[in-house]
Amino acid sequence: MKKGISGVVATVLIILITVAAVTIIWAAVVPMIKEQMGFELIANLDIVTLKGYTLYDSAAGQLNVQVKRGADDADLVGIEFVFNSAGNSIKKISGDVPGVNQAIVYLLGNCFGALAPDLIKVAPIYGNGKTGIVTSQVEDIPDGTAVAGESLGSCVACSNNADCDAQAGACEINGICSGLGVCSFSQRACGPTDGCCPVGCTLVDDGDTDCPAVPCTDECSGETCVGSTYVDCVLGGDGCWDEELPVNCPFGCSGNVCDSPPAAPIACGDTLMAADNPNELTGDISTSGDCLTIGEDGVILDLKGYDITGASMSGIGILSNGRSSVVIKDSGDAGGDKGEIKFFLTAISLAGNSGTIVGSEIIGNDDGVKVAGNREGIKVDGGSGNMIYENEVIDNDAGGGVGTGIILSSTINNIVRSNTVRRNARYGISILSGTSGNRFQDNEFCDTDTLDDFYCDEIDNNEVDDGGNMGGSISSNCQFGLSVAPCSLDLTAGLVAHYKFEGNADDSATSGYPAYNGIVYDGAVIGGNYAGGPVGAGQALRLDGVNDYMEVSNYDEEVVNWAISFWIRTTDGGDYNGVVDIIDQSSGRNGVSLNSGEPYPVYNINNFDRWRPQLSPEEVTVTSGTWRHVAANYNIDGAKVYVDGGEVGLDSYQNLGPYAVNSILRIGRFATGSSYLNGDVDEVRIYARVLSQEEIDYLRANPDGL
């Protein structure tokens, strides 16, 4: 009985025969390829797109191409690049080639205008001078910012049709030639169609791709934007695109495109988005609740010197919840003045933020924010890696000794640097539980009236380099580095008016308020009498007690907290002698008067006076006939009066609100009555804030002030 070959054996035989055949054929074909192409191995070139180095920079007109070579032993001496754009192509050759398993970034400039190439091809050039097949190509070139690279040169630029005709082939790609499309250099495109016409035809669209029977002779200027108008070229009745249509753009134009309407001004209640960067205030804004919310990551908010004002220490000025890479700054207006975020429960609240900057992005930029008159200034609650740089955090006081400048709670790895932290009611900077790894550096403190400049609530691993500037409750877990120099007083902060009376009644304050120059009346005659002032203070205003006084009729400042400082020399023990009186439209008054020689504050609204509060058990008079220094503070807690630097009385009566705008300021005359001061007055300072004991002591020791 005969037996056939098994199926397994047959399969093996077929495979062996096939392998042998391929080997024989390959041995015959490879020499033919080598003889034909003249090289031994094929170079492995690939255009890299994943790392972002193959891109087109439309703004600069530059193209980057990154080419990587694989593992090969080819005799590679160059690379041929082919670039296509709008149906046109150019060719460039580079003799700079990457080594094995290396890559090179190439740079081609000034060839494509605003239109990116739509196809890039590369092919190897071998040592025998022959170019191999295309080994890699890419489409859809992304836009980006060009980087330096091996130069592929540039192209001869053609800025208009005449240039393209004149230079012809020298224009390496006609995609940058206006109106040419896919036509040659000696042709014109027929309007929006793809047909091409001889030289002499202007743009035309007669519905098909041929040229007009009669060449167009008129031309449309196509004038770009002038003012708010540009010229559009439209199809005329003669079949030529030569009719000029002026286009008026209500919001201006750029080139041949109308500008978009301007964004609505930012107002309280808005949610700010990164697409609108930079979000810039264009005027003061206010609210009785919360004001602005940061709506997404990457928002930039610039106050531009304008105020954000709340009411009654409630609400949040700026809320950023769970955002990152946010910038909140104030670059100031044209005059460089800063706005204020004021009268909120919390001025700026960063809840769970990371990488957020409040103030200057770079130390020394002077883009810090001014935060004043709130219960809490800047609060960082949760999150990490935030930077609080170069801000002015002052006078945050909600009454009753409540008010903190900067608060960090349950947050890590933040930097608080180069901030001015002054006169906050309770704490300058407060670190609460769950807070670690933070750095506090070069911050200025001058909070004489503050309970603690720096309060540390048993927190680990916070590094503080501000030891020389502060006092207060510092736990052993706050690590201190080197101290910096103590800060200096700033008696120009909040200074509304300053009268030196050096032969005139001009206001010498330069802290951003209007100049409230006074007029001195000597009876019915304008022009006051001047005498010697305190030691080193030059002249002073002399008042005869009959009808002399100084007046500013347009004193236009609405102030909640105030302070007044002056020098006085008198023996007048009469009643109701006004020294400094500010009278508003409702007959309310704020200021300092003398009664039987005793200084007392006056503060009221709607003619409900607090004219002579009981300030101390003992009467303190200033009628010695020698120069005496008097100061008075008023805020929501009431009033204090100081004579020669010492506090002589406190009145805890709380007023109902600020004095109104459009007031009258008088020195030497009691309100609207006929009681005048007999004596000399000098160095009158009026502040829109209270003065610290240290500041009062300085003004007493230095009659000229700072």
Q: Is the pLDDT of residue 341 over 60?
A: yes
Q: Do both 464 and 349 map to the same domain?
A: yes
DSSP string, 165-188: HHHGGGSS-GGGSTTTTTS-TTEE
Q: Do both 102 and 204 map to the same domain?
A: no
Overall average pLDDT of the 627-649 stretch: 81
**Residue 459 in domain:** yes
Confidence of residue 492 (pLDDT cuts 50, 70, 90): confident
Instruction: Write the pLDDT tens digit of every residue in 209-246.
Output: 345 555 555 566 667 888 888 887 766 655 555 677 88
Confidence of residue 333 (pLDDT cuts 50, 70, 90): low
Q: Do both 602 and 639 map to the same domain?
A: yes
Q: Do both 343 and 195 map to the same domain?
A: no
DSSP string, 630-655: EEEEEETTEEEEEETTEEEEEE-PPP
Under DSSP, the state recorded for 659 is B
CATH number at residue 538: 2.60.120.200
CB 661 within 8 A of CB 558: yes
3-state SS assignment for residue 196: strand
Cα separation, 219 vs 160, whole angstroms = 14
The pLDDT score that the predictor gives to residue 454 is 62
**Residue 671 in domain:** yes
Which residues partner with 335 through β-bridges? none
Which two structure tokens, joined as six digits, stand for 209? 């791709």
**Residue 16 in domain:** no
Residue 12, phi then psi, degrees to nearest 5: -60, -40
DSSP string, 564-633: EEEEEEE----SSEEEEEEE-TTS-EEEEEEETTEEEEEE-BTTB---S----SS-----SSS-EEEEEE
Radius of gyration, alpha carbons of the chain: 40
Q: Is the pLDDT of residue 359 over 80?
A: yes
The pLDDT score that the predictor gives to residue 271 is 95
Q: Do both 80 and 214 map to the same domain?
A: no
pTM over 0.75: no
3-state SS assignment for residue 529: strand
Position with higher pLDDT, 322 vs 422: 322
Overall average pLDDT of the 108-115 stretch: 70
The pLDDT score that the predictor gives to residue 37 is 44
Cα separation, 112 vs 177, whole angstroms = 9
Q: Do both 240 and 222 map to the same domain?
A: yes
Cα separation, 364 vs 359, whole angstroms = 10
Backbone angle region of 672, left / alpha / beta, with phi > 0 → left and psi within -120 to 50 → alpha: alpha
Q: Among residues 127, 154, 181, which one ends one of the domains?
A: 154
Confidence of residue 525 (pLDDT cuts 50, 70, 90): low
**Residue 25 in domain:** no
Residue type, 462: N
**Lowest mean pLDDT across 191-205, 275-289, 494-508:** 191-205
**Residue 403 in domain:** yes
Q: Do both 303 and 450 map to the same domain?
A: yes
Find where tokens 């230095």 sit. Answer: 702
Angle at 671 between CA 668 and CA 675, to 5 degrees: 60
Residue 547: count of CB within 10 angstroms of its CB = 15
E strand intervals along 38-170: 45-48, 55-57, 62-69, 76-85, 88-94, 103-109, 119-126, 136-139, 150-154
Residue 403: count of CB within 10 angstroms of its CB = 23
What proportions of the chain, in percent to the nearest 5, are helix, strand and coil? 10, 40, 55
- Alpha-carbon dihedral sign for residues 395, 397, 402, 403: negative
Q: Is the pLDDT of residue 480 over 60?
A: no
Which residues partner with 354 through β-bridges? 324, 384
Cα separation, 413 vs 432, whole angstroms = 14
**Residue 191 in domain:** yes
Cα separation, 540 vs 682, whole angstroms = 5
The pLDDT score that the predictor gives to residue 350 is 94
Q: How many helices (H) and strands (E) would you count in the chain?
A: 3, 54
Cα separation, 533 vs 500, whole angstroms = 9
Q: Do both 71 and 173 map to the same domain?
A: no
Q: Do both 165 and 254 map to the same domain?
A: yes
List the strands of the sheet with 285-286, edge to edge. Answer: 285-286, 308-309, 341-342, 370-372, 392-394, 420-422, 444-445
3-state SS assignment for residue 683: strand
Cα separation, 177 vs 188, whole angstroms = 10
Cα separation, 429 vs 444, whole angstroms = 11
CATH number at residue 61: 2.60.40.10
CA-based nearest residue to 59, from 105, 106, 110, 120: 110
Q: Is the pLDDT of residue 458 over 50?
A: no
Q: Is the pLDDT of residue 195 over 60?
A: no
Which residues partner with 522 through β-bridges? 525, 548
The pLDDT score that the predictor gives to residue 466 is 47
- What is the average pLDDT value for the chain, to the nearest integer? 75
Q: What is the 3-state secondary structure (H, E, C) of 495-525?
A: EEEEECCCCCCCECCCCCCCCCCCEEEECCE
3-state SS assignment for residue 697: helix
Percent of the chain scoring above 70 in pLDDT: 66
The pLDDT score that the predictor gives to residue 114 is 56
Q: Do both 517 and 465 map to the same domain?
A: no
3-state SS assignment for residue 409: strand
Domain residues for the domain of 315 are 271-480
Position with higher pLDDT, 242 vs 647: 647
Confidence of residue 345 (pLDDT cuts 50, 70, 90): very high
Q: Do both 418 and 318 map to the same domain?
A: yes
Cα separation, 580 vs 671, whole angstroms = 9
Which residues partner with 520 through β-bridges? 550
The pLDDT score that the predictor gives to residue 555 is 83
The pLDDT score that the predictor gives to residue 527 is 67
Position with higher pLDDT, 230 vs 167: 230
The pLDDT score that the predictor gives to residue 325 is 92
3-state SS assignment for residue 294: strand
Position with higher pLDDT, 591 vs 134: 134
CA-based nearest residue to 442, from 359, 384, 340: 359
Q: Among residues 154, 174, 203, which one ends one of the domains?
A: 154
Backbone angle region of 636, left / alpha / beta, with phi > 0 → left and psi within -120 to 50 → alpha: alpha
Q: Among residues 124, 154, 184, which one ends one of the domains?
A: 154
How far is residue 586 from each of residues 306, 549, 662, measured CA to CA in Å? 29, 22, 10
**Residue 12 in domain:** no
Q: Do both 311 and 412 map to the same domain?
A: yes
**Residue 438 in domain:** yes
Best-predicted range by mean pLDDT (144-153, 556-565, 586-595, 600-609): 144-153
Under DSSP, the state recorded for 487 is P
Q: Max Cα separation, the chain?
A: 155
Domain count for the chain = 4
